[in-house]
Amino acid sequence: MIDRARLFVISGPSGSGKSSLISDVIKSMDNFEKSISATTRPKRSGEIHGRNYYFVSPEEFREMIDRGSFLEWAVYAGYYYGTPENFVMEKLSIGINMILEIEVQGAMQIMKKIDDAYFIFITTTIPGQLRERLIKRGTDSIEEIEKRLEIAEKEQKYKKYYDCIIVNNNYNEALKNLKSVLIEADGKVSK
Ligand code: 5GP
């Protein structure tokens, strides 16, 4: 018999380090995979279609919405982002825990749809750290960074809806905490 898998939703402001934390935690755990979203955002250098995202045109994205392809979708900083439903549901049905790295509006949609999903919010409490990390990352223009920081402030208001908050002021500590939370929450799903 296959154990019932769980859906994990991880959100957090741009620059909170959530992508790195998720990719590192998955490497050290069996049975957890990250879902690959579709987006209309332009590809950054180093990103690969089908690995980081499915990069699609706004027309293709809207067709996917019309076909009901998304478990959730939202607009973030002027671009569409969405989770393909079939992929996630198929993985869950064969016993693989799935992680969605999505922003808060999408997370709220999942909260209404999926009863036993587990919600984690990753953030930093050091003033100015998000800005510093985004500048250091070097993937976004200053204009884009300002937009993301503005969204980050609004996103903080949603953290009260999450099951757990992980503070990433220190990377290794946050990684350890994230791993413990995933193990603990996986064990609690009714199988
Ligand atoms: P980025 O452009 O930095 O890759 O992502 C911007 C924001 O969109 C991040 O908060 C990321 O978690 C979120 N995001 C990525 N994929 C999805 C998705 O499928 N749905 C939603 N709602 N947000 C997403």
Residue 63: inside a domain: yes
Give residue 43's domain range. Answer: 7-185
CA of 1 from ligand 1 middle (Å) equals 34
What pLDDT digit, counting tens, does each position of 141-166 carry?
Answer: 999 999 999 999 999 999 999 999 99
Residue 191: inside a domain: no
Whole-model pTM? 0.96
Closest CA to 102 of 57, 23, 35: 35
Residue 191, pLDDT score = 47
Residue 2: inside a domain: no
CA of 136 from ligand 1 middle (Å) equals 20
Q: Residue 102 in contact with residue 9, Cβ under 8 Å?
A: yes
Cα torsion angle, 130, 132, 136, 142, sign? positive
What CATH number has the domain bearing residue 71?
Answer: 3.40.50.300
Residue 190: inside a domain: no
Instruction: Provide the mean pLDDT of the chain.
Output: 94
Q: Facing residues of 72 across strands? A: 83
Residue 1: inside a domain: no
HSE of 30 in the Cβ direction (CA atoms, 13 Å)? 1
**Closest ligand 1 atom, residue 10 Cα:** 12
Residue 102: inside a domain: yes
What pLDDT digit, counting tens, does each position of 52-76 carry?
Answer: 999 999 999 999 999 999 999 999 9
User: Number of folded domains in the chain?
Assistant: 1
